[in-house]
Amino acid sequence: MKDYFRVLRYVFRYWRHIIPSTVCMILFVLFSAFSLTAIVPLLNVLFSENVPVQISAPVNATQPPPSVQNEAVQKDAILKIKKDVSGIKERTEQRVRVYLSRFSKIDQLKILCIILLIGFLLKNFFAVGQTYYMAAVEQGLIRDLRNDLFLHLHRMSLDFFHGERTGRLISRVTNDVKIVNDSIAAAINSLFRDPLSIAIYVALMIIISWKLTLLVSLLIPVTGWVLSTMGNKLKQDSEIMQNRMADLTSILSETLYGIRVVKAFAMEKFEIKKFLDKNELYRKTVVRMTRIRKLSPALTEYIGLAAGVFVLYFGGAEVLVGKNALSPGMFILFLGCLFSLMAPLKLLGQVYTSTKEGLVAARRVFRILDTPPSITNSEKPIVVNDFNRSIRFKHVSFHYLPGENVLSDISMEVEKGQVVALVGPSGGGKSTLLDLLVRFYDPQTGSIEIDGMDIKRIRLDSLRQLMGIVTQETILFNDTVRNNIAYGMSDIPDELIFNATKAANAHDFILEMPEGYQTTIGDRGMKLSGGQRQRLAIARAILKNPPILIFDEATSSLDTQSELLVQEAIERLLVGRTSLVIAHRLSTVQNANRIIVIDQGHIVQAGTHNELVKATGLYQKLFNMQFRNH
């Protein structure tokens, strides 16, 4: 129930809507009961003869013996209780009779019609009012949960996303939140409506005939057992269903993301079969859940019907043979209350099963919200706006998995204004080293300092504002060219954007596009070539104008012509900035102030290009391999 109360805290943010919704709900129940109970007394008076009330005078009889008197007292006590209960309905009907006796039969009929019209009008008015106010609560709950999930995902570190499939996270934000909302909305709608309806109808039934009501109540344990069994089964299946929906979303997301590879390898049939198999498993689970979900209220309703038939036979038989004090009208009212009782009982059954499903979804949502980010600000983070002296790595070691170091005892310094290149075989730890600088991860040992200050003391957004990153896998959005370049800067002047694209060798090809800077480039920039995407990324970095630049193999996947254009743009960007460049093509880093050679997590060489190419070692080997045909 802890998860349920956590969800309720989201709901009670909207107490200003919940209060009028609850009032409308209560009034709806009262007018529903009124619409039912008001008919019988009016009909009894309307279609019966006016019989004058007779008052009998006391009879002067001989006193019976004491034993007979005691027995008579006990019987009188029992009769008094019965009269007190049944007297309510008799007094009510008597008052109605006295009031209507002043009118003719046709006027009484008019009054009955007016009462029915007003009663049902108010009943439906308050039903609409309850829905009107609850709509804001339901949609507010969905919005707040999704907002909190989205905000929390942005706070999470990269290691969290490495362990989670994208489709599963999407399913949490969309499907699971919807299930939680449906469950809570059903529970809140039922909270005041159904228990109050049940209480009113049961009270009326007790007033009419407590014996018949007691017989009906014997079926309540059976109903409870049915609901409990169905609810537990639904809870298990709900977990399976939501996992399979997450699998479906993951497959869809991954297939669309890698659609080029799928088509290039002619793997459409493979991906289709994988999706169809998962979709079939999901279908089977949903079918099973739907059958159970529909079976539960159906059984509850049938149990209620069985009780009604039971009452109809035994109570009706007593009325027919005259053994029961119930009039035919009151017996019909009792049956009306009993059958009206079935609807709230049925809805309570649905709420019970829905709550079981909602708790499973809530647990999955809160599991994400309760996962703390591994990279956080210190207690009193420092805001840094400038970079003045140097970046220093001091005995840095890092691993993704315990015992498998990716970097071991790395120590190096990058002075302001220097271009430092990182080279070496793939998997040596170059990209990881730069990820540590940006604080995508934190090293297990050692420290990284900017201007002598440990970067863990610097506020995260402040740290990352100092840096501009251009990677091999260019990240662009399905938006216009202009908005991709001015990412997050809505008020930037066009002139600055044009200057950035000219420096990145991108201005000319942008003008050739159908709508120029307002051209939408498609998902991940799929309408552009690799070189064009890379130049837009460089233009974005130029516009940000950061003091520290990071290039992670920015030209490795480009053709020769695109590489020359991108390399020219990079050289313009490097002027006057501190830069760390990862490159496999050594031709792109020959002019670097310093080259660091990394192999298997260790720095094995360091120096200028001329120094390293002359020294025997890994750099010379890599250089000879790349330039052996020159």
Q: CATH number of the domain that 242 lies in?
A: 1.20.1560.10
Query: Does residue 189 form part of some domain?
Result: yes
Q: Indicate whether 323 and 421 sit together in one domain.
A: no
The C-alpha atoms of residue 126 and residue 32 are separated, in whole angstroms, by 10
User: What would the pLDDT profile of 344-370 be if each residue is shown by its tens digit?
Assistant: 776 776 677 677 778 888 888 888 899
Q: Is there a single domain that holds both residue 507 and residue 448?
A: yes
In a domain, 594, yes or no: yes
Q: For all residues of the chain together, what is the average pLDDT? A: 78
Is 169 within the bounds of a domain? yes
pLDDT reading at 372 higher than 50? yes
Examine the domain organization and report whether 364 and 394 are in the same domain.
no
Query: Whole-angstrom Cα distance, residue 115 to residue 138?
Result: 34
Contacts from 588-592 at CB under 8 Å and sequence distance 24+? 588/555, 589/421, 589/423, 591/419, 592/419, 592/420, 592/421
Q: Could you give the 3-state DSSP secondary structure of residue 403?
A: coil
Distance CA 178, CA 237 (A): 17
Q: Is 56 within the bounds of a domain? A: no
Question: Ranked by mean pLDDT, which of 226-230, 235-239, 298-302, 449-453 comes out on top?
Answer: 449-453
272 and 421 assigned to the same domain: no
Full-model pTM: 0.69
Domain coverage including residue 552: 390-627
pLDDT for 287 equals 83
Q: Of 469 and 327, which is predicted with more confidence?
A: 469
**Domain at 595, CATH number:** 3.40.50.300
How many angstroms separate the CA atoms of 137 and 413, rounded? 56
Q: Are residues 531 and 622 in the same domain?
A: yes
> Is-contact 468 546, C-beta < 8 A?
yes
Distances (CA, A) of 552 to 28, 243, 425, 468, 471: 65, 36, 14, 11, 5
Confidence of residue 552 (pLDDT cuts 50, 70, 90): confident
Give counts: helices (H), strands (E), the chain: 22, 10
310 and 215 Cβ atoms separated by less than 8 Å: yes
| Pairing relationship of beta strands 578-582 and 548-552 according to DSSP bridges | parallel
380 within domain boundaries:
no
* pLDDT for the residue numbered 358: 81
**Torsion over CA: 289, 291, 292, 294 (sign):** positive
- 606's tokens: 């360091």
360 and 486 co-located in one domain? no
Quickly count: other Cβ atoms within 10 Å of residue 287's Cβ. 10
473: which DSSP letter?
A: S
Same domain, 363 and 394: no
Distances (CA, A) of 237 to 83, 225, 286, 366, 614: 52, 19, 8, 19, 68
The b-or-e profile of 506-527 (16+ CB within 10 A means b, else e) is: bbebbeebeeebebbbeeebeb
Q: Are 597 and 591 in contact (CB under 8 A)?
A: no
Q: Is the same domain home to 361 and 414?
A: no
- Using a 10 angstrom Cβ sphere, with 0-12 exposed, 13-18 middle and 19 or more buried, the burial of residue 106 is exposed
CB 366 within 8 A of CB 372: no
Is there a single domain that holds both residue 505 and residue 544?
Answer: yes
Whether 382 maps to a domain, the answer reads no
Residues 336 and 433 in one domain: no
| Beta-carbon contacts of residue 621 (< 8 Å; ≥ 6 apart) | none
Q: Same domain, yes or no, for 182 and 261?
A: yes
Beta strands across the sheet bearing 453-454: 404-415, 390-401, 445-450, 453-454
Q: Describe the crossing of helices 105-155 and 177-208 by its angle, rounded to 10 degrees.
A: 150
Overall domain count for the chain: 2
> What is the share, in percent, of the chain residues with pLDDT greater than 90?
9
With beta carbons less than 8 A apart as the criterion, state whether 304 and 346 touch: yes
pLDDT tens profile 329-350: 677 777 777 777 777 776 776 6
Q: In angstroms, rounded to a whole number, what is the distance separating the alpha carbons of residues 384 and 271?
A: 48
Domain-terminating residue out of 369, 402, 435: 369
Q: Kindly state whether residue 410 falls inside one of the protein's structural domains.
A: yes
Same domain for 243 and 359, yes or no, is yes
Could you tell me if residue 411 is inside a domain? yes
Give the tens place of pLDDT for each residue, 68-119: 455 554 555 444 544 554 555 566 666 766 776 777 777 777 777 787 788 8
- The pLDDT score that the predictor gives to residue 58 is 47
pLDDT at 143 over 80: yes
The tokens describing 390, both together, are 């140097």
**Last-in-domain residue among 369, 401, 423:** 369
**Locus of tokens 């120590």:** 411
